A = this chain, B = another copy of it.
């Protein structure tokens, strides 16, 4: 990965749909040359994908919360719990963190009732602690 790759990444970070032509103009390469480099970055696993940034409030999200989950008896006996949680539609991210051995889940919910239903589902896995994000 050289300096040109870094500049390409910088431009794609600002707008992941930026056209190769525009990027090329900026760094002094042709569009196909940019396309070749981007495919290389994808093949090398540096670029993992392109994500949409949506306004969740406009899509009906009223409640965002961090939820830590201390598993009953650890995660060892339940290897696929982490995957199951990550696949739930409310879950934006789910990380295992230090401190009390637990998962830190970032979840988006339609409203408080939706959050409660989610906490009920989580309670089969362990004890939850919820912090609402205030500046939605």
Contact A134 B116 (CB under 8 A): yes
Given contacts A45-B58, A46-B55, A48-B55, contact A112 B99 (CB under 8 A): no
Looking at chain A, what size class is its interface with the partner chain? 35 or more
Cβ proximity bits A87-128 to B, threshold 8 Å, 1 near / 0 not: 000000001111111001000000011011001111110011
CA distance A115 to B129 in the complex (A): 20
Given contacts A97-B133, A97-B134, A116-B135, contact A50 B127 (CB under 8 A): no
* Chain B residues whose C-beta falls within 8 Å of the C-beta of A3 in the assembled complex: none
| A/B interface sample: 27 pairs, CB < 8 A | A9-B52, A13-B52, A13-B54, A16-B16, A16-B17, A16-B52, A45-B55, A48-B53, A50-B50, A50-B52, A65-B98, A74-B119, A74-B124, A75-B120, A75-B123, A76-B120, A95-B135, A96-B135, A97-B133, A98-B131, A98-B134, A100-B128, A101-B127, A101-B128, A104-B131, A112-B132, A112-B136
Across chains A and B, which 9 residue pairs bring their CB atoms closest together, nearest first? A74-B123, A16-B50, A76-B120, A97-B131, A49-B53, A48-B53, A17-B50, A51-B51, A98-B130
